[in-house]
Amino acid sequence: MTGILVFMAEIRTGRALASATLDLQAIGRRLTAAREARKLSLTEAAARAGLNHNTVSQWETGVRRPSLEQLALMLPVLRVTLDFVYLGDDRSLDWEAREAIATQLAALPPDDSLGTRRRRARPAPSVSS
């Protein structure tokens, strides 16, 4: 019985982790805050990581999820961890980085005003009489 409970707890933890990593807006906000805390422009951060600035822009606006390979190139530039980017866990960051990122996050607009592309609702089909 104990084994079943442990297994169920792992499933719940896995689901929580999966839902946290699906929040592209939150991932984008953390990347933006980390970049701005380092006082880097989007173009400069992308160039240092060897990435296209349009790709990094899509991450920051929540349009696209960063691949692990590409994110591995960006993490050292921003001096953050994968746990911070995907889960918001800043325990592994030093105090100064935490403070700088917290300040940047507070200055960012709310999630719904990031200027992300949204699909337009399709018009209802017209009914001919």
Nearest CA among 106, 99, 90 for reference residue 29: 106
CATH top-level class of 21-108: mainly alpha
pLDDT tens digits, 74-107: 999 999 999 889 888 888 888 888 888 888 888 8
pLDDT tens digits, 3-56: 444 444 444 555 555 555 578 999 999 999 999 999 999 999 999 999 999 999
Would you list the domain boundaries of the chain?
21-108
Contacts of 30 (CB under 8 A, 6+ apart): 80, 84, 85, 88, 101, 105
Q: What is the pTM of this model?
A: 0.66
